[in-house]
A and B are shown apart, each in its own frame.
Chain A
Amino acid sequence: MSAAELTPPEAARWAARAGLVLPAERHAAVAAVADHIHSVVAVLRELDFADVPPAAAYRAAEEHHDAAV
């Protein structure tokens, strides 16, 4: 197991920090899936983004909000 992989207790703690309380019997499975997702998305760290912005664009003139805040 590499240092980047989550142990089941770590997965539970990270989830709790996100406000999600995981039942004990789910800790190991969530850790495994989270590690798999991490292994897939981590390759993006190889890219040199320089000044490239995120694709999500904010167009102030066209925004339309109807959610209550």
Chain B
Amino acid sequence: MQPYELSLAAAADAIRARRLSPVELVDSVLDRIEEVEPHLGAYVTVAAERARRAAGEAEHEAAHGRYRGPLHGIPMALKDLIDVGGMATTASSRVRADHRATADSTVAARLSAAGAILLGKTHTHEFAFGLTTPQTRNAWDRTRVAGGSSGGSAVAVASGTATFALGTDTGGSIRVPAALNGVVGLKPTYGLVPRHGVTPLSWSLDHVGPLTRTVEDAALVLTALAGHDPRDPASLSVPATDYRPGVGTDLTGLRIGVPRTYYFDHVHPQVETAVRHAVGQLEALGAQLVEVDIPMTRYIQATQWGLMVPEAGAYHEGSLRTVPELYQDDVRILLEASELMSAGDYLRAQRSRTLMRAEWARMLEEVDVIAAPSVPMPAVGADEETVTWPDGTAESVSDAYVRLCAPANITGMPALTVPVGHDAGGLPIGMQLIGRPLGEPVLLRVGHAYEQTQPTRALATAA
């Protein structure tokens, strides 16, 4: 096994035991980038020299007994909405052609302090306003979409060109590409991870979180990211927590909600089969399955759009007037149309969110976790714009990919996607676990227990 193939936890163990140096690990990942990146297009920028220099410093520290923790010397990538002082935050947009961040975002600073090494910035669907990331190709099949908007981060982790990465999630933008590329993605509780220095799409729906090869890896990254920052007005004051899940797989006493409605409607049969099989594994580990009815399903998309579209329009109000031609067509027209929404539309969405959050809280008094598909279908072809379900219903690809993720953005509840298999064509399928606010330890425990029942996953092969 080459160093670039190691999970974060395995690499951390090897670095701590001095069996692997940060220089060897970073060199291995940079070699991998050189080999596969031309085929995948995950990165906007690769900062190879900076990474090598940081790896040398991390090795020097390790040699002198200074070990910062499990992220010490671990190479990672940041979605290019996340500020790193001195580098451009392009948002994968021509609008940001001359951008240069003056300081690190909170998450970049925290990862740096924890010893992680920045490899570069990964592609996003322009300003995170889309679900495909057209610059990047799926790590398992280059003719398929990467998913988005954190497509570059997911493809980098899946293909071995980053040991972990960060993404952002406003309507599924961590979970969708993670599921479509066969990696783990965690959208934390709203406010748990500070967003200071991260370009917003929609303030009341935006989250920052990790994309990793394993659930345990996601827990290690979350431990470094979580914690209050007054510069993000939504930031929660929570005590420092070690999120690393225990080794046990016994889920006795845990109640897992299996949706009777919504989450298995208009879902590809192979996705449903894989997710139900994984849920069966959780039952075999001792969990009790409880059928639940998802509340207010008719209003999920309306609430998501009623919040996201006007908030995105507000953020881009200035540049839409000065440089509209620099936006891609799909993003520009949404921003323009957003200006025609009323304050009433937005307030109805905010009031609907109040109702929905209360209904979900009631549902999560009956169960500890909801288990469901992350997305309704595997990665579609890069030129496909709609999906037609067996009952004849047509749905845009973007709407389909957001559909099962949006409730956790609207309610702010944490949601984890875990790979649970592949379809007949070899494309990955993800299971979504949704928990109570600040219920990350439960999600990570369940996801980690499931992973321990499965063979170790190999890296993606499309490159």
Check A52–B354 contact: CB distance below 8 A.
yes
The answer to whether A47 and B349 have CB atoms under 8 Å apart is: no
Find the A residue at minimum CB distance from B320. Answer: A20
Closest to B307 in A: A55
Residues of A within 8 A of B350 (CB): 54-56
**Which residues does chain B contribute within 8 Å of A38, judged by CB atoms?**
340-341, 345
The residue that A54 contacts in the complex, of B230, B305, B321, B354, with Cβ under 8 A, is B354
Contact in complex: A22, B336 (CB < 8 Å):
yes
Question: Is B354 a contact of A55 with CB atoms below 8 Å?
Answer: yes
- Please name all residues of chain A whose beta carbon is closer than 8 Å to the beta carbon of B326 when the two chains form the complex: none
B340 touches A11 (CB 8 A): yes
A51: nearest chain-B partner, CB-CB:
B351
Known: A44-B349, A52-B355, A64-B230. A34 touches B302 (CB 8 A): no
Contact with A along B282-325 (1 / 0, CB 8 A): 00000000000000001101110110010000000000110000
Q: Mark A1-21, 1 if CB is under 8 A from B, else 0.
A: 000001000010011001111
**In whole angstroms, how far apart are the Cα atoms of A11 and B23 in the complex?**
57
Within 8 A of B (CB), among A9-41: 11, 14-15, 18-22, 26, 29-30, 33-34, 37-38, 40-41
Is B250's CB within 8 Å of the partner chain A?
no
Complex: A18 Cα to B457 Cα, angstroms: 51
A45 adjacent to B233 (CB under 8 Å)? no
Is B337 a contact of A33 with CB atoms below 8 Å?
yes
* A-facing residues in B325-352 (Cβ within 8 Å): 333-334, 336-341, 345, 347-352
Contact A20 B339 (CB under 8 A): yes
Contact of B351 (CB < 8 Å), options: A21, A22, A54, A63:
A54
The answer to whether A6 and B233 touch across the interface, beta carbons within 8 angstroms, is no
A18 touches B340 (CB 8 A): yes
- Is B50 located at the chain interface by the 8 A CB criterion? no
Q: How far, in whole Å, are A54 and B334 apart by their CA atoms in the complex?
A: 24
Which residues of A have CB within 8 Å of B354?
Answer: 52-55
Bound complex: CA A33 to CA B334 (Å): 7
**Of A6, A11, A20, most B-chain CB atoms within 10 Å:** A20
Please state if B333 and A29 are interface contacts (CB–CB under 8 Å). yes
Q: Are B345 and A34 in contact (CB under 8 A)?
A: no
B14: min CB distance to chain A, Å: 42
B side interface size, CB within 8 A: 33
Bound Cα distance A63, B345 (Å): 26
Among candidates B231, B302, B353, residue contacting A64 with C-beta atoms closer than 8 Å: B231
- The CA of A56 and the CA of B349, in the complex, are separated in Å by 10
Q: A29-B333, A64-B233 are in contact. Are A44 and B352 (CB under 8 A)?
A: yes
Decide: A55 near B357, CB < 8 A? Known: A37-B309, A47-B299, A63-B233.
Answer: yes
**For the complex, is B28 an interface residue (Cβ under 8 Å from A)?**
no
Chain B residues with Cβ below 8 Å from A56 are 204, 350
Contacts of B302 in A (CB 8 A): 40-44
Evaluate contact between A66 and B337: CB separation under 8 angstroms: no
Partner of A47, one of B305, B309, B339, B355: B355
| Contact A40–B347 (Cβ < 8 Å) | no
Contact status B337-A30, CB under 8 Å? yes
Residues of chain A with a CB closer than 8 A to B351's CB: 47, 49, 52-55
Minimal Cβ-Cβ distance residue in B for A44: B348
Complex CA distance for A45 and B117, rounded to whole angstroms: 49
Q: Flag if A34 contacts B340 (CB, 8 Å).
A: yes
Q: A45-B348, A54-B353 are in contact. List 8 more A-B contacts (CB 8 A).
A: A11-B340, A15-B339, A20-B339, A30-B333, A40-B305, A43-B302, A44-B345, A52-B355
| A–B complex contacts, Cβ < 8 Å, 26 sampled | A14-B339, A20-B320, A20-B321, A20-B339, A21-B321, A26-B333, A26-B336, A29-B333, A30-B337, A34-B337, A37-B305, A37-B337, A41-B302, A41-B309, A43-B298, A44-B302, A45-B348, A47-B299, A52-B354, A54-B353, A55-B357, A62-B233, A63-B233, A64-B230, A64-B233, A66-B231
A→B interface (CB under 8 Å):
6, 11, 14-15, 18-22, 26, 29-30, 33-34, 37-38, 40-47, 49, 52-56, 62-64, 66
State the 3 A-B residue pairs at the shortest beta-carbon distance, nearest first: A54-B350, A33-B337, A55-B353
